[in-house]
Structure 1
Amino acid sequence: MSEVKLIGVVGAGQMGRGIAQVGAMNGFKVIMFDINADGLKFGHDFIAKQLAKGLEKGKWDQGFVDSTLANLTATTDLKDLKDCDLVVEAATENKKIKFELFRNLDEIVKPEAILASNTSSISITEIAANTNRPEKVAGMHFMNPVPVMKLVETITGLETSTETIELVEATAQKMGKTVVRADDVAGFAVNRILMPMINEAFYTLYEGIADAKGIDNAMKLGCNQPMGPLELADFIGLDTCLAIMEVLHEGLGDTKYRPCPLLKKYVTAKRFGRKSGKGVYEY
C-alpha cells in the first residue's frame, strides 16, 4: 500500500474526535467509531461546532466546512472499519482495553492495513503482539488539542516495518503535522520528559514547598512555559497522568518515576481535572 485514503478512528473522545477532525479537514475520508452512541454523537456534533466557529471567524469558507463534514462518517459498529487503510486507536490508556481492541481490529480490518495506536506510554511492541500483523502496527501519538498542536510522535515497535512507519509519517505530514520519531521505550520522548515534571510539581505541592498557583506561576514566569505543570495536568486529566507515571515506574523500574501520593489521592477522589470539574483547581 503506497497511500492512505480511508482512515478509521477508534474513540470519539477528546483525542479521537480531534484526530478525526484533522483527518477530514485534510482530505482524508474518515470513519469515527465509538461503542457509545451518545458519546459518538457528542463527538460528531463537537467537530461540527468547531468547524462552525472557524467559519464565523473567517478561517475557512462554507465549501470547506461542507467538504470536511462530507469526509466524516460515524459508526457504532467496529466492522465498518474493515476497508480502512489506516486505523488509529484513541481509546482509554488501559492495556487490557487496547489489547482487546487490537485483537478485534486485526480480525476485522483488511490484512494490508496499518493499525496505529495513539497511546502516550504503552509499548507498541506489546500492542502489536496481540495481532497477526506486528510489522503493520505503529505508534501515532497526537498531542492535545489535536487541531491546534503541530506534533505527532511516531513510535516504531520491534517488528514495525520501515514501510509502515514511513507511511504513518507521510500520513501525519499530510494532516499538517510535524513528526518526531521515538523508540518504543516507556513514555517515548514527550511523556518521558513531561510526566516526571508534572509528577515533581505534585511532589512540590505535596511537600508544601509552594502552593498550586505559586508552582504554576513559577514555571510560567521563570521558565516561559505557556501553562504551569499543575494546570496542564488538569487539562490532560489527572487519571491519564497517573496511568502514564505507573507505566514509566513499572517499565523503567526507577524510583524517580514513583507517582506522587497526592496525585494518586486526587485520582482516587475522582478529581480528574477539567473533564470532571475539579482537579488541582476547580472549574
Structure 2
Amino acid sequence: MTIKKVMVIGAGQMGSGIAQVCAQAGYEVLLHDMNEEALKKGLNDIEKRLARNVEKGKIAEEDKSVTMSRLSPSSELKDAATCDLVIEAVVENMDVKEAVFRELDQVAPSHAILASNTSSLPITEIAAVTQRPEQVIGMHFMNPVPVMKLVEIIRGLQTSDETYEAIQKMTDELRKTPVEVKDFPGFVSNRILMPMINEAIYTVYEGVATPEDVDHVMKLGMNHPMGPLALADFIGLDTCLSIMEVLHDGFGDSKYRPCPLLRQYVKAGWLGKKSGRGFYQYS
C-alpha cells in the first residue's frame, strides 16, 4: 500500500509535531481539530519551529515554505475521506478514542490505515470498534516529536502484516527509528518510565528528599538528561496519572499503584508545565 495523504487528529503538542514531521517528509497533511483556536495555534507552532530551524541553519527558507504548503487545516472529520492514513493524537481517554475511531471507520476510505498515538491504551480494544481491525495500529511518537527519533509501532491482535510493513516503511521515511512492540499496557516506554516517575513522586510524598534533590540524584548520579519530576511536569501530571491507572488496571499489580500525591496534584489542577504549576512553578 502507498501512503500519500495523511490526516492527523488533534492539533496539540503531539499532533502538531506529528503533522510537521509528515509534511517535512513529503506527505500531504491535513491537521484536524474541532477547536478552531487550537487548530490555528497548532499550525502557528509548526511555522515557529520551522522558522527557528531556518535561523539555526538546519533547513533553508525554501524548505520551510514547501513544508507549510503541504499542510492544510481541517475542522471536519469527514475530510478523512481523501486520506490513506489517519493518525489520532487526541486526549488519552479510551471513550474519546473509541468515538473517534468509530466515526473514522465510517468516513475514511476502505484502504486507509487508522493509527493511534496512544501512549498506553490497548490497540486491540481500539481496533474492535471498527470494521477494519486488521488496518488499525499504534504509532507512539515521543515528545517533542520533531526532535525524538523513536516511534513504538504497536500491533493489535488483528493487525495485518501488510499494515505493519506500510507503517514501518513510513516511519523510516520520517527519519525515525521504528520499534515493534506487542499490545501490552504501557507498551515498552511507559511500562518502564512511568513506574520510575511514580517512585520518584513517592520519595517526595514520604519526605525522603525534595523534588529538586530527587532530580539532581537522577541527573548527576544516573546521567539522565532530565530529572523524573521535571519530566513528569513536561509530560503532564494528568497524563502520568492516566498511564499509571492503565498499568494498574491492566496488570492488577500493586507495584503500579499511583502515588496519592500524584492524584492530589491532579485534583488540585497542578498538571505541570501546561498549567503553570506541578512539582515546579512555571512563569
Q: Give the whole-Å Cα distance in 2 for the aligned partners of 1:62 and 1:217.
A: 40
Task: Tell me the SS of whatever aligns to 1:203.
Answer: helix
2:177 pairs with 1:178: yes
Name the counterpart of 2:152: 153
Matched position secondary structure for 1:8: strand
Aligned to 2:24: 25
**Match of 1:231?**
230
SS at match of 2:82: coil
| Structure-2 separation of matches of 1:107 and 1:202 | 43
| Residues in 1 aligned to 2:169 and 2:251: alpha-carbon distance in whole angstroms | 31
Q: What is the Cα deviation at residue 53 of structure 1? A: 1.2
Q: Following TM superposition, by how much is the alpha carbon of 1:118 offset from its aligned partner in structure 2, in angstroms? A: 0.2
Amino acid at match of 1:184: D
Structure 2 partner of 1:247: 246
Q: TM-score of the superposition, structure 1-length normalised?
A: 0.99
Q: How does 1:1-283 map to 2 (within 5 A)?
A: 1=1, 3-283=2-282
CA distance in 2, matches of 1:198, 1:50: 29
Once the two structures are superposed, residues 111-132 of structure 1 have per-residue CA deviations (whole angstroms, 9 ceiling, x without a partner) of 1100000000000000000100
Taking the aligned partners of 2:222 and 2:3, their CA distance within structure 1 comes to 40
| Runs (5+) with no aligned partner, structure 2 | none
Cα distance in 2 between the residues matched to 1:71 and 1:172: 18
Shift of 1:160: 0.3
CA distance in 1, matches of 2:6, 2:172: 14
2-side partners of 1:183 and 1:273: how far apart? 30
User: Hey, what's the Cα distance between the residues in 2 that align with 1:208 and 1:101?
Assistant: 43
RMSD over aligned CA atoms reads 0.6
State the SS of the aligned residue for 1:51.
helix
Task: State the Cα deviation string for residues 49-94 of structure 1 (Å, max 9, x = none).
Answer: 1111111111111110111001110111111121111100000000
C-alpha distance in 1 between matches for 2:178 and 2:265: 34
What TM-score results when the alignment is normalised by the length of structure 2?
0.99
Offset of residue 165 of structure 1: 0.9
* 2:5 aligned partner, one-letter code: L
How much does 1:110 deviate? 0.2
- For 2:206 and 2:81, the matched residues in 1 are separated by 52
Tell me the distance in 2 between the aligned counterparts of 1:249 and 1:11: 27
How many corresponding residue pairs?
Answer: 282
- Name the amino acid aligned to 2:16: R
Instruction: Give the Cα–Cα distance (whole angstroms) in 1 for the partners of residues 179 and 192 of structure 2.
Output: 14
What amino acid does structure 1 have at the position aligned with 2:80? L
1:254-281: CA deviations, max 9, x gaps? 0000000000000000101000110010
1:133 maps to a residue whose letter is R
Runs of 4+ in 1 over 4 A off after TM superposition: none
User: Which 5+ residue runs of structure 1 have no aligned equivalent?
Assistant: none
Separation in structure 2 between the aligned mates of residue 130 and residue 218 of structure 1, nearest angstrom: 45
For residues 175-222 of structure 1, give each alpha carbon's deviation from its aligned partner in whole angstroms, at most 9, with x where no partner exists.
010011110000000000000000000011100111101100000011
Q: Secondary structure at the match of 1:281?
A: coil
Distance (whole Å) between structure 2 residues aligned to residue 158 and residue 81 of structure 1: 24
For 1:51 and 1:15, how far apart are their aligned partners in 2?
16
Q: What is the distance in 2 between the residues matched to 1:169 and 1:120?
A: 18
Superposition deviation, residue 153 in structure 1: 0.3
State the Cα distance separating 1:101 from its structure 2 match.
0.1
Write the deviation string for residues 24-70 of structure 1: whole angstroms up to 9, x where unpaired: 01111110000100000000011011111111111111110111001
